[in-house]
Chains A and B, each alone.
Chain A
Amino acid sequence: MARNRPVSAVDAAFRTEWTRLVATLTRELRDLQLAEDAAQEAFVEASRRWRTDGPPRSPGAWLLTTARRKAIDVVRRDRRFADRLPVLAEADDAAPSGQRLVDDQLALVFGCCHPALAVDLQVALTLRSVAGLTTEQIAHAFLVPVPTMAKRLVRAKHKLRAAAIPFVVPEPEHLQSRLAAVCGVVYAIFTEGHTSSSGRSLLRGNLCDEAIFLAETLAELLPAEGEARGLAALCLLTDARRLTREDDEGRPVLLPDQDRDRWDREQIDRGLRHLLAAHTTGSAGTYELQATIAALHATAPTYAATDWRAIVTIYDTMLRSGGGPVVALNRAAAIAEWRGPRAGLAALDELDADALHDYPYLHSARAELLTRSGDDAAALPAYDRAIEHAGNEAQRSWLADRRAEAAARIRSG
Chain B
Amino acid sequence: MKYMLALYSDPANEPADGSPEQAKDMERWFAYTNDLVEAGAMLGGEGLQGPETATTVRVREGSTITSDGPFAETKEVLGGFYVIEAPDLDAAIGWAAKIPNVNHGTVEVWPVMEFDGE
| Chain A interfacial positions (CB closer than 8 Å to B) | 114, 116, 162-166, 168, 170
Q: Which of B28-36, B55-63, B87-95, B98-106 contacts A (4 or more CB under 8 A)?
A: B87-95
**How many Å from the CB of B96 to the closest CB on chain A?**
11
Which one, A164, A166, A168, contacts B111 given CB within 8 A?
A: A164
C-alpha gap A164/B93 in the complex (Å): 11
C-alpha gap A270/B3 in the complex (Å): 46
Which one, B87, B93, B111, contacts A162 given CB within 8 A?
A: B111
Do residues B89 and A163 form an inter-chain contact, with CB atoms below 8 A? yes
Contacts of B48 in A (CB 8 A): none
Contacts of A163 in B (CB 8 A): 89, 109, 111
Interface string of B80-92 (1 = CB under 8 A from A): 0000000111100
How many chain B residues sit at the interface, stated as a range, is under 10
Main secondary structure of the interface of A (DSSP, over half): loop
Contacts of B90 in A (CB 8 A): 165-166, 168, 170
**How many Å from the CB of B12 to the closest CB on chain A?**
29
Q: List 19 A-B contacts (CB under 8 A).
A: A116-B89, A116-B93, A116-B109, A162-B111, A163-B109, A164-B1, A164-B87, A164-B88, A164-B89, A164-B111, A165-B88, A165-B89, A165-B90, A166-B87, A166-B88, A166-B90, A168-B88, A168-B90, A170-B90
Closest to A174 in B: B90
Return the 7 tightest CB-CB contacts between A and B, nearest first: A166-B88, A164-B88, A164-B1, A163-B111, A165-B89, A163-B89, A166-B90
| Chain B interfacial positions (CB closer than 8 Å to A) | 1, 87-90, 93, 109, 111
C-alpha gap A162/B2 in the complex (Å): 10
**How many Å from the CB of A175 to the closest CB on chain B?**
13
Closest to A167 in B: B88
C-alpha gap A397/B85 in the complex (Å): 59
C-alpha gap A166/B91 in the complex (Å): 9
C-alpha gap A168/B93 in the complex (Å): 14
Contacts of A162 in B (CB 8 A): 111
Contacts of A116 in B (CB 8 A): 89, 93, 109
Contacts of B87 in A (CB 8 A): 164, 166
C-alpha gap A163/B88 in the complex (Å): 7
C-alpha gap A248/B109 in the complex (Å): 52
C-alpha gap A114/B109 in the complex (Å): 14
Contacts of B109 in A (CB 8 A): 116, 163
Closest to B86 in A: A164
C-alpha gap A165/B93 in the complex (Å): 10
